């Protein structure tokens, strides 16, 4: 049998808080999506190196001003966090907490790729939860430093009346900046295992993977550091994630590593067992390259180009909206071969613009280009491409009061307001726009370009120094946007989205 060569990171893109499982010969994992919709992406793989998006838990999460980017409200850095994925008695379960709603959610389905998913809402936060099915009983572990256990009903839809609900233990605090969180729970060979990430101030001073184990559900638990390595990258620890086995009884962990502006990227780590303790990596290190005993099974790319040739008004799974979309004001069928974004509400900047359509960026470098037809834009409209994070940068077209058009490059000038750094007149209706992202060695620079003839490109504005900030808590995304500052109803037509993954400079 041909073997698959794994190279770490397996994806150089923002796929954080991963939780993997195996069902038969297929591997699935869920990750955090916060303010991106549809949310809670489910990825699948046959060979552990090549992954594709198989679906999402939900199209939209809640219907309120914050989720809809209305009345100045938003859920940047909130929404779904650190979901837990399990398969039990033929049914799939995903749970997570949401900081903006202060609630705990459990979604279940018989078909992880097609759904439908049934949702249960349980009041109260359960930070970074981990589901555990133990016989006919169901538990959730959660917390930061103080680790709790709560018993749920057998179908995980509610807290069980009279069930276990208590502080389980307190994790180390001496010399620790970020105490244990990001729990993943398992019952294996007579032991209960709880995995966490923590961030010490001492030693290497980087995030590391911790394991607690016990013969008894309620303890006492023993503690061990099972991985403290940075894959040779800027002292960024590889940690937080789950473990799983293959049909050949070989074990692996899927963890993630901070890579600055591109986001938190997943890494696959071999796991061995020694005296019933998991041993992560090879000689304590995350290997950059190794073989797995699975035949190669290539998949489509994580980020795609799109000519917008759709027969129905449904986008490819690679696309996500920034917050809930307003489905009345976008279309890929109204003008065949185009994505039409229509301004259905007023906004002060791209951060409050409804219906911004996004995909991830990828390292070491990448670039994206669109052809924008501005003929139906109204005075006060602004449309184009955005490098989306709190410290955003845009290359786009603004329509003036008298309908005159200008190509502009803007950044966040503070408090989310746009600051225009450069502008040139646009005499035609159609213009090509491009953003180049360089993440190599955390250079984290974006540059902005335009072309009026489709061949010769001109840089505009200044280089954007991209920064991963916690007010968005997400790696930079590429976004297509159109919004109005004066009157609604104007439309921007995007003829294509063309994406390239590059080696970096």
Question: Given 14, 17, 373, 444, which residue is catalytic?
Answer: 17
What pairs with residue 148 in β-bridges?
Answer: 142, 167
Torsion of CA 328, 329, 331, 334, to 10 degrees: 90
Check if 17 is active-site.
yes
Cβ contacts of residue 353 below 8 Å, gap of 6+? Answer: 69, 322, 347, 481, 482, 483
Query: Which two tokens mark 501?
Result: 């993954």
CA distances from 435 to 243, 336, 480 (A): 37, 25, 11
Span between the terminal Cα atoms of the chain, in Å: 38
Kindly report the number of other CB atoms within 10 A of residue 422's CB atom. Answer: 15
**Dist. CA 105–CA 247, nearest whole Å:** 31
Question: What is the rounded CA–CA span in Å between residue 269 and residue 52?
Answer: 19
Which of 181, 230, 373, 381 is labelled catalytic?
A: 181
How many whole angstroms separate alpha carbon 98 and alpha carbon 100?
A: 6
Cβ-proximal residues to 283 (8 Å cutoff; 6+ apart), any chain:
none
| CB distance 387 to 445 below 8 Å | no
Q: Is 181 a catalytic residue?
A: yes
Q: Which string of DSSP letters, residue by residue, matches 11-61?
A: --B---S-EEEEETTEEEEE---BTEESEEEEEEESSSS--EEEEEEES-S
3-state secondary structure 240-265: EEEEEECCCCCEEEEEEEECHHHCEE
Q: Which stretch of DSSP H or E encloses residue 80? A: strand 80-88
Catalytic residues: 17, 181
């Amino acid at each position: 049998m041909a073997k698959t060569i794994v190279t770490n990171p397996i994806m150089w893109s923002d796929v954080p808080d991963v939780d993997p499982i195996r069902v038969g010969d297929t591997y699935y994992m869920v990750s955090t999506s916060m303010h991106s919709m549809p949310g809670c992406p489910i990825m699948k793989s046959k060979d552990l190196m090549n992954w594709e998006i198989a679906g999402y838990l939900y199209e939209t999460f809640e219907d309120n001003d914050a989720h809809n980017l209305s009345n100045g409200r938003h859920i940047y850095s909130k929404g779904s966090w650190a979901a837990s994925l399990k398969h039990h008695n033929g049914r799939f379960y995903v749970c997570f907490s949401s900081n903006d709603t202060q609630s705990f959610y459990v979604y279940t389905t018989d078909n992880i790729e097609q759904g439908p998913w049934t949702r249960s809402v349980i009041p109260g936060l359960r930070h970074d939860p981990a589901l555990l099915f133990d016989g006919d009983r169901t538990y959730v572990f959660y917390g930061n430093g103080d680790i709790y256990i709560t018993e749920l009903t057998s179908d995980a839809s509610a807290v069980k009346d009279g069930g276990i609900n208590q502080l389980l233990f307190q994790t180390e605090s001496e010399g620790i900046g970020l105490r244990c969180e990001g729990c993943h729970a398992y019952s294996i060979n007579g032991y209960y295992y709880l995995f966490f990430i923590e961030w010490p101030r001492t030693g290497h001073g980087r995030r590391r993977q911790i394991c607690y184990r016990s013969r008894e559900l309620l303890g006492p638990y023993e503690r061990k550091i099972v991985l403290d390595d940075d894959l040779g990258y800027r002292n960024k620890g590889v940690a937080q994630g789950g473990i799983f086995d293959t049909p050949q009884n070989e074990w692996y962990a899927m963890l993630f590593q901070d890579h600055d502006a591109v986001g938190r990227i997943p890494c696959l780590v071999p796991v061995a067992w020694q005296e019933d303790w998991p041993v992560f990596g090879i000689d304590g290190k995350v290997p950059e390259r190794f073989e797995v005993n699975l035949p190669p099974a290539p998949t489509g790319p994580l980020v795609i180009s799109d000519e917008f040739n759709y027969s129905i008004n449904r986008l490819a799974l690679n696309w996500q909206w920034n917050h809930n979309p307003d489905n009345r004001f976008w279309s890929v069928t109204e003008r065949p071969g185009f994505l039409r974004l229509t301004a259905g509400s007023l906004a002060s900047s791209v951060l409050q613009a409804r219906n911004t359509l996004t995909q991830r960026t990828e390292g070491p470098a990448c670039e994206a280009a669109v052809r924008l037809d501005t003929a139906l834009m109204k005075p006060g409209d602004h449309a184009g491409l955005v490098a989306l994070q709190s410290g955003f940068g845009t290359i786009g077209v603004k329509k003036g009061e008298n309908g005159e058009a200008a190509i502009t490059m803007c950044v966040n000038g503070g408090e989310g307001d746009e600051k225009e750094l450069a502008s040139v007149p646009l005499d035609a209706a159609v213009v090509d726009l491009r953003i180049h992202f360089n993440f190599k060695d955390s250079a984290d620079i974006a540059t902005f370009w335009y072309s009026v003839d489709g061949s010769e490109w001109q840089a505009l504005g200044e280089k954007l120094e991209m920064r991963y900030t916690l007010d968005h808590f997400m790696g930079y995304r590429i976004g297509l946007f159109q919004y109005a500052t004066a009157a609604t109803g104007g439309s921007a037509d995007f003829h294509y989205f063309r994406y390239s993954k590059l080696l970096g400079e």
